[in-house]
C-alpha cells in the first residue's frame, strides 16, 4: 500500500510512463477482396484511436496489429501514425516473405500464420476488433483484458 504523497506521485508517474498497448484486429485481405467499405472502416478505426487518445492524455499509446499492409491492420497503422502513436507489428516468420507495413517495432513469433496470436495477446492491454474473420474472432474470444467489438457490415 502506498502511504505517502510522494509514493503516490511516483507510482502515478511510473504507470503514466508505461505505454498503453492497443491491439487492433480485423479483416486483412487484399484491397480488391474487401467485403466492407474502406472509408467506413477507416472512420471506425480512427474513432476508436481518438477515444483512447482522449481518455489516456499524456500516455504513450502503441497500436499493435498484424504486420500486414492490408485491410484493418493497414488502416490502423495509417491512422495511428497520423495521431503520433507508436506502431507495432506482430507476425510469424512465414510473413518475412510478404510485403508488410512500415511500423516502429516488429515482433516475429512462431513459424506459420496464427502462431503469433498468443504472444500478441500477451503483449497488449486492450483489444479492438473491427469486423474480421475467423482469426480475429478467435483472438477476440481468447483475450482476457478489456475489449471492444466494432461491428463492420459486409457489403
Q: What per-residue confidence (pLDDT) applies to 155?
A: 39
Asked whether residue 6 is assigned to any structural domain, the reply reads no
Asked whether residue 71 is assigned to any structural domain, the reply reads yes
Report how far apart, in Å, the C-alpha atoms of 46 and of each of 10, 22, 96, 97, 141 are: 32, 13, 28, 29, 23
Q: Which DSSP symbol is given to 104?
A: S
CB atoms under 10 Å from CB of 91, counted, come to 24
Asked whether residue 25 is assigned to any structural domain, the reply reads yes
Lowest mean pLDDT among 55-69, 116-130, 137-151: 137-151
User: Could you tell me the pTM of the whole model?
Assistant: 0.83
Asked whether residue 46 is assigned to any structural domain, the reply reads yes
Asked whether residue 116 is assigned to any structural domain, the reply reads yes
Which tens digit of pLDDT belongs to each residue from 62-79?
A: 999 999 888 899 999 999
Asked whether residue 138 is assigned to any structural domain, the reply reads yes
Which tens digit of pLDDT belongs to each residue from 94-104?
A: 989 888 889 99
Question: Whole domain around residue 69: which residue ranges?
Answer: 19-150
Structural domains in the chain (count): 1
Report how far apart, in Å, the C-alpha atoms of 25 and of each of 85, 109, 148 are: 17, 17, 11
User: Which CATH number does the domain housing residue 117 bear?
Assistant: 3.40.50.450
Split at pLDDT 50, 70, 90, the class of 93 is very high
Asked whether residue 9 is assigned to any structural domain, the reply reads no
Asked whether residue 5 is assigned to any structural domain, the reply reads no
Amino acid at each position: 500500500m502506498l502511504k505517502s504523497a510522494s509514493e503516490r506521485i511516483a507510482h502515478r508517474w511510473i504507470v503514466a510512463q508505461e505505454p498503453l498497448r492497443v491491439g487492433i484486429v480485423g479483416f486483412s485481405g487484399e484491397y480488391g477482396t474487401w467485403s466492407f467499405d474502406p472509408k467506413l472502416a477507416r472512420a471506425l478505426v480512427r474513432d476508436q484511436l481518438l477515444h483512447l487518445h482522449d481518455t489516456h492524455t499524456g500516455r504513450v499509446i502503441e497500436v499493435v496489429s498484424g504486420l500486414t499492409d492490408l485491410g484493418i491492420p493497414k488502416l490502423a497503422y495509417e491512422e495511428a501514425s497520423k495521431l503520433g502513436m507508436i506502431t507495432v507489428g506482430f507476425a510469424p516468420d512465414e510473413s518475412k516473405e510478404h510485403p508488410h507495413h512500415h511500423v516502429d517495432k516488429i515482433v516475429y513469433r512462431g513459424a506459420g500464420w496464427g502462431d503469433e496470436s498468443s504472444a500478441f495477446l500477451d503483449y497488449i492491454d486492450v483489444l479492438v476488433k473491427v469486423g474480421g474473420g475467423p482469426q480475429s474472432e478467435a483472438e477476440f474470444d481468447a483475450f482476457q483484458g478489456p475489449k471492444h467489438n466494432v461491428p463492420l457490415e459486409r457489403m
